[in-house]
Amino acid sequence: MTLIVPLVFLLGIVIYQVISGAIVPSETVTRIGYVDNAGGFTQYNEQGSIYLAQYAKVEDAKTALISGDINEYFVIDPTYYSTGVINYFTLEKQLTPPPETVTAIKQFMTANMLAGKIPQSDINLINSSLNVVSTRLTDTGAVSTEQGGIGDLVLPMIFAILLYFSIIFTSSYLIQGLGDEKENRLIEVLLSSVSTRQLITGKVLGIGAAGLISVVVWVICTPFIINYATASIGGIFSYISLSPSFFILCIVYFILGYLLFAVISTCIGAITPSAREGQQLAVIFTLTAAVPLWFSSLIIMYPNSPVCIFLTIFPLTAPITLVARLGSTDVAAWQIAVSIGVMVITITVGLFLTIKIVRTFLLMYGKRPTLGTIIRSLRSS
């Protein structure tokens, strides 16, 4: 997966280049009819790829709609100036009229209402989209080096998704491996050579190292892929900015996330009689890790809300939440410190408990201990 992810992104860019070169933009003009009962709407009939064709009467427009000469039609009543309502007629079942149609009609209406009253250039300005250029300042009033914007969201969300899938694959791999070792009694051969503590710590640290390698490879590949995407596709990729602090935190939380879920998966693998049952039990934890992705829109729009802060500190959701939040806001240093501290403590305590649980239940073949049994065993040991 470490190498596949950058390759998939590169392949995506290549495929985009091939497809965008092969597709010829459509030159079809959409015809929309209208009936002007209010008067004064006779100009500016061409609105991009939409042509507004005037009909004298509603019946004529209806006939043209049914015969397929036009796609839709609308009626401008004399009461428009007081109500602002346009009646729109179509043969298709729609949730709302298509946005491009609404835009074309609005621009048509605006241009006709202002025609002759203000210069044409002003009409064009009113009809064009508002171009807001945002500049972020620091506390001292200087221009900030990290401007934010939509480009800042892309990488964190991609890394958050990558982290989630990495956690799932790792968890599944650990549980399957431990299940196989139990099933073929390989675990007994291993335990005749190393202690339980060495075995479990080795598995957890090994997976943590694998996570470190994965994230370092991705971090190294990211600037090259961004540059290639910017040159080939442009668009939003031109706005993606790379912040060193983001990458450092990404690496830290990748490792912590890997370690935490490695500890959980090892514990599950030890107490479940088969890998299949282990995978089922692991779903509880992996689904919890996905909570930040379910609430990604909340994280993007309200990144400093109490819910987001809680998700940043709660160990199971902390890695993905923090990585996702970094695209929308500067996460307070105290939150990062508390989050990392809680995760380190959770991993350490979890590892300690896992070693105890593994030692007690690893060789219980064919049966899963109940939660009560596990707690009693931990207390007595």
Partner 1 sequence: MVNVVEIKHITKAYADKVAVDDLSFSIAQGEIFGLIGPNGAGKTTTIKMMMDIMKPDSGEVEILGKKLSEATKDKLGYMPEERGLYKKQRVLDTIIYFATLKGMNPHLAAERANQLLEKTGMLPNARKKIDELSKGMSQIIQFIVTIIHEPQFIILDEPFGGLDPVNTELMKNILLELRREGKAIILSTHQMNQIEELCDRILMVNHGRSVLYGSLVDIKSRYKNNAVFLDYQGELGKVPGVIEQHAHKDHIELVLDGKTTPQQVLKYLLSRNIVINRFEIATPPLNEIFLKVVGKDNE
Candidates 15-23, 80-88, 146-154, 178-186: pick the segment binding partner 1 (CB under 8 A).
Answer: 178-186
Q: Indicate the residue among 82 and 380 with the shorter CB distance to partner 1.
A: 380
Find how far residue 66's CA is from the centre of its chain.
Answer: 43
**How far apart are CB 165 and partner 1 at their closest, in Å?**
23
Q: Which of 153, 178, 187, 263 binds partner 1 (CB under 8 A)?
A: 187
**How far apart are CB 26 and partner 1 at their closest, in Å?**
52
Amino acid making up residue 200: I
Cα–Cα distance for residue pair 93/250, rounded to 1 Å: 46
Q: Indicate the residue among 28 and 193 with the shorter CB distance to partner 1.
A: 193
Q: Indicate the residue among 190 and 219 with the shorter CB distance to partner 1.
A: 190
Q: Which of 87, 184, 280, 305 binds partner 1 (CB under 8 A)?
A: 184
Q: Indicate the residue among 354 and 360 with the shorter CB distance to partner 1.
A: 360
Token duo for residue 253: 């939380």
- Within 326-355, the residues that bind partner 1 by CB under 8 A are none
**How far apart are CB 30 and partner 1 at their closest, in Å?**
59
Candidates 22-30, 186-194, 204-212, 219-227: pick the segment binding partner 1 (CB under 8 A).
Answer: 186-194
74 touches 62 (CB < 8 A): no
Sheet containing 30-36: order of strands: 46-47, 50-55, 30-36, 72-76, 87-90
Q: What angle do CA 306, 308, 311 make, to 5 degrees?
A: 110
258 touches 167 (CB < 8 A): yes
Cα–Cα distance for residue pair 245/252, rounded to 1 Å: 11
Q: Which of 86, 190, 212, 216 binds partner 1 (CB under 8 A)?
A: 190
Q: Which of 186, 209, 284, 332 binds partner 1 (CB under 8 A)?
A: 186
Does residue 370 bind partner 1 (CB under 8 A)?
Answer: no
**How far apart are CB 198 and partner 1 at their closest, in Å?**
8
Q: Which of 181, 250, 289, 322 binds partner 1 (CB under 8 A)?
A: 181
Does residue 280 bind partner 1 (CB under 8 A)?
Answer: no
Does residue 185 bind partner 1 (CB under 8 A)?
Answer: yes
Q: Indicate the residue among 195 and 238 with the shorter CB distance to partner 1.
A: 195
**How far apart are CB 194 and partner 1 at their closest, in Å?**
6
**How far apart are CB 204 and partner 1 at their closest, in Å?**
17
Cα–Cα distance for residue pair 336/253, rounded to 1 Å: 10
Does residue 242 bind partner 1 (CB under 8 A)?
Answer: no
**How far apart are CB 275 and partner 1 at their closest, in Å?**
14
Tell me 32's DSSP state.
E
Instruction: Give the residue carrying structure tokens 């710590």.
Output: 201
Q: Which one, of 138, 114, 137, lies nearest residue 124 by Cα?
A: 114
- 67 CB-near residues (< 8 Å, 6+ apart): none
Amino acid making up residue 20: S
Candidates 33-41, 118-126, 180-188, 318-326: pick the segment binding partner 1 (CB under 8 A).
Answer: 180-188
Q: Indicate the residue among 190 and 210 with the shorter CB distance to partner 1.
A: 190
Integer CA distances (angstroms), 54 to 22, 47, 51, 58, in order: 37, 14, 10, 10
Cα–Cα distance for residue pair 247/159, rounded to 1 Å: 10
**How far apart are CB 363 and partner 1 at their closest, in Å?**
6
Q: Indicate the residue among 275 and 343 with the shorter CB distance to partner 1.
A: 275
Under the rule (CB under 8 A), what is the footprint of partner 1?
Answer: 181, 184-195, 198, 363
